[in-house]
Chain A
């Protein structure tokens, strides 16, 4: 029971995390009315994955693992790009507005609202779809193969747990006051993005596309296994991997080394411009 629970918890969190972050961002930027679209994106993705998963099972087709990995990797890269630009944009907006004034936020976002809204809802859809198909296949296996009901119950609890994590991020996010939200949530999002990027590198490897720098940096599969409760939680949220390769660790660190200073201190160019201006 525990293993199906943890598997679904991890896969679920990988999706609900992005949904939670996007929903929080939309609400924080005064776009409550987009929440319907977020829900629609989630439900459509879930249904679509369910349909494809069932179809694959009915015709006894081999699960297209490589294509799935390619899809996962590509969506991961897009998500990293969007989360990062979201964070950097929030920073700019925070600078230009008086802290805490909802009116000025609405004004600041009214211009970009429509198209960035659609892009964000698209991100939600694909983030769910990317985990959904594999989860669906796994869920069908729990119904078909398990000797008792416990595997299915565990998987269900895992999914509920993942949903709770998503909601927790949403509720927590919209409660924090604005300036803190911009600063600390942003740092958290960047760390999440770094994990996503490293995960994409792994996905591209498993899709057979990237085969360089595959030496294992450290093997923590006995210290903090990825399929342990804490390991699953960390894997879902931060992209934790118990046996990461050189390429995964390098990408993870490189992203943080570049993105965090830019977020905290501004881009080198802007920094220079400010220096010369003052």
Chain B
């Protein structure tokens, strides 16, 4: 049961709040500025039967709706996208008007006009560039969950593949099977290249050691005539592969980081081409990113999505012809990946 001291405390809080409310009331009555005339005002009168005007076109952004109830009944006013309520005001009494400033993306919506049985009005939101075609919004956070989770799985699988390859590599080195060791080293390198976009997120150790250890080992394998004396390199590679796998399990890359990482990988390749196997594996990793985000890209910007697919195809065919320098299409791919980031609303602040 509330003790007396608690009672006093509560009474005190009530007193303070009451004083605040009184002060705010005074401010409200005396110092309130009249509603500022915004540029984008849309006035709609709703009677018992319909909205006037019944068809409204506004610019995208936050139009300023003034809804006036000219009928005799209490109404609510809603902007609908199908059955989904985008914005609404309730309890609009006859003769009253309410204001609402919802954020609206280009497209065609319906608005309720008084009673449910009244015909709905049409609200068209026009894009800034003047186009009336509905350009859907950037994906919501919930839409990004699926590709992010899928990429996490991909990263873990790649790290596991790396571990398997390195273990096999160790076995072949022990058995003095040079050809086998070279094959497994290539597999291991490819696995790391696949997740190059997110490697920086796996911590400085994983980022620096994983690829370096493997590259060293790969070079030594290429230059050796036997597997003798490679034990220490193998040891180091196994260790960094294990670190990388742990990091892959404990890290969930944000969608923004995944796409930005892919763009950086491509930019690096455009500036200096690695050996062709390395480049192909890295591009395969980038392709995975594009594939996972394709459903969202298609919704946000169809043209861009098609361009990305085209870039990937062009880069792949250019690489096939074993070029001497980096294929120029890499620069396009990098630029389009950056565009994808902003199309999905993932621009870094």
User: A residues touching B (Cβ–Cβ < 8 Å)?
Assistant: 3-4, 6-7, 11, 31, 33-34, 36-37, 40, 43-44, 47-48, 50-51, 54-55, 57-58, 60, 62-63, 65-66, 113-114, 117, 134, 138, 140-142, 145-147, 151, 205-208, 211, 214, 216, 219, 221-222, 225, 227, 243
A54–B32 CA distance with the chains assembled, in angstroms: 11
Report chain A residues within 8 Å CB of B88. 65, 206
Q: Is the C-beta of B89 less than 8 angstroms from some C-beta in chain A?
A: yes
**Who on chain B is nearest to A6 by CB?**
B74
By the criterion CB–CB under 8 Å, are A225 and B17 in contact? no
Q: Is the C-beta of B86 less than 8 angstroms from some C-beta in chain A?
A: yes
Taking the closest CB of chain B, its distance from the CB of A105, in whole angstroms, is: 16
By the criterion CB–CB under 8 Å, are A145 and B95 in contact? yes
Tell whether A47 pairs with B17 under 8 Å between CB atoms, given A58-B32, A141-B96, A208-B84: yes
Q: Which of B84, B86, B117 contacts A219 (CB 8 A)?
A: B117
Tell whether A151 pairs with B100 under 8 Å between CB atoms, given A7-B74, A51-B20: no
Report chain B residues within 8 Å CB of A227. 73-74
Q: Which of B14, B20, B86, B96 contacts A208 (CB 8 A)?
A: B86
By the criterion CB–CB under 8 Å, are A47 and B14 in contact? yes
By the criterion CB–CB under 8 Å, are B94 and A3 in contact? yes
Taking the closest CB of chain B, its distance from the CB of A120, in whole angstroms, is: 13
Report chain A residues within 8 Å CB of B28. 54, 57-58, 140
By the criterion CB–CB under 8 Å, are B32 and A57 in contact? yes
By the criterion CB–CB under 8 Å, are B116 and A219 in contact? yes
Report chain B residues within 8 Å CB of A33. 1-2
Q: Is the C-beta of B128 less than 8 angstroms from some C-beta in chain A?
A: no
A134–B98 CA distance with the chains assembled, in angstroms: 13
> Can you give 28 contacting A-B residue pairs, CB < 8 Å?
A3-B93, A3-B94, A7-B74, A37-B10, A50-B21, A50-B25, A55-B24, A58-B24, A60-B33, A60-B35, A65-B90, A114-B1, A117-B1, A134-B90, A138-B91, A138-B93, A141-B93, A141-B96, A145-B97, A151-B95, A205-B85, A206-B88, A208-B84, A208-B86, A211-B82, A214-B83, A219-B116, A219-B117
A145–B82 CA distance with the chains assembled, in angstroms: 33
Which residue among A37, A65, A66, A142 has the maximum number of chain B CB atoms within 10 Å of its CB?
A65
Q: Is the C-beta of B115 less than 8 angstroms from some C-beta in chain A?
A: yes
Report chain B residues within 8 Å CB of A141. 93, 96, 98
By the criterion CB–CB under 8 Å, are A145 and B36 in contact? no
**Who on chain A is nearest to B20 by CB?**
A51
Q: Is the C-beta of B87 less than 8 angstroms from some C-beta in chain A?
A: yes
What mask results when residues 38 to 82 of chain B are scored 1 for a CB within 8 Å of chain A, else 0? 000000000000000000000000000000000011100010001
Q: Which of B17, B72, B74, B97 contacts A44 (CB 8 A)?
A: B17
A-B contacts besides A3-B72, A211-B83, 11 pairs, CB < 8 Å: A3-B94, A33-B1, A36-B2, A54-B24, A54-B25, A54-B28, A57-B28, A60-B35, A62-B99, A62-B100, A221-B117
Taking the closest CB of chain B, its distance from the CB of A110, in whole angstroms, is: 11
Tell whether A60 pairs with B91 under 8 Å between CB atoms, given A40-B10, A43-B14: no
A207–B10 CA distance with the chains assembled, in angstroms: 33
By the criterion CB–CB under 8 Å, are A34 and B91 in contact? no
A121–B184 CA distance with the chains assembled, in angstroms: 68
The 3 closest A-B pairs by CB, nearest first: A54-B24, A47-B17, A227-B74
Which residue among B20, B78, B85, B89 has the maximum number of chain A CB atoms within 10 Å of its CB?
B85
Report chain A residues within 8 Å CB of B98. 141
User: B residues touching A (Cβ–Cβ < 8 Å)?
Assistant: 1-2, 7, 10-11, 13-14, 17-18, 20-21, 24-25, 27-28, 31-33, 35-36, 72-74, 78, 82-91, 93-101, 115-117
By the criterion CB–CB under 8 Å, are A34 and B33 in contact? no
By the criterion CB–CB under 8 Å, are B17 and A7 in contact? no
By the criterion CB–CB under 8 Å, are B7 and A36 in contact? yes
Give chain A's interface secondary structure class: helix
A170–B83 CA distance with the chains assembled, in angstroms: 40
**Who on chain A is nearest to B69 by CB?**
A3
Report chain B residues within 8 Å CB of A11. 91
**Who on chain A is nearest to B94 by CB?**
A3
By the criterion CB–CB under 8 Å, are B14 and A40 in contact? yes
By the criterion CB–CB under 8 Å, are A51 and B91 in contact? no
Report chain A residues within 8 Å CB of B83. 211, 214
Report chain A residues within 8 Å CB of B14. 40, 43-44, 47
Q: Which of A7, A146, A214 contacts B95 (CB 8 A)?
A: A146
Report chain A residues within 8 Å CB of B27. 54, 58
Taking the closest CB of chain B, its distance from the CB of A207, in whole angstroms, is: 8
**Who on chain A is nearest to B76 by CB?**
A206
Taking the closest CB of chain A, its distance from the CB of B103, in whole angstroms, is: 10
By the criterion CB–CB under 8 Å, are A142 and B93 in contact? yes
A3–B89 CA distance with the chains assembled, in angstroms: 16
A195–B245 CA distance with the chains assembled, in angstroms: 53
Q: Which of B1, B74, B89, B96 contacts A113 (CB 8 A)?
A: B1
By the criterion CB–CB under 8 Å, are B2 and A37 in contact? yes
Report chain B residues within 8 Å CB of A114. 1
By the criterion CB–CB under 8 Å, are A7 and B115 in contact? no
Report chain B residues within 8 Å CB of A44. 10, 13-14, 17
By the criterion CB–CB under 8 Å, are A208 and B85 in contact? yes
Report chain A residues within 8 Å CB of B36. 60
By the criterion CB–CB under 8 Å, are B87 and A4 in contact? no
Taking the closest CB of chain B, its distance from the CB of A192, in whole angstroms, is: 21
Report chain A residues within 8 Å CB of B10. 37, 40, 44
Report chain B residues within 8 Å CB of A57. 28, 32
A63–B27 CA distance with the chains assembled, in angstroms: 19
Report chain A residues within 8 Å CB of B96. 141-142, 145-146, 151
Report chain A residues within 8 Å CB of B11. 40
Report chain B residues within 8 Å CB of A225. 73
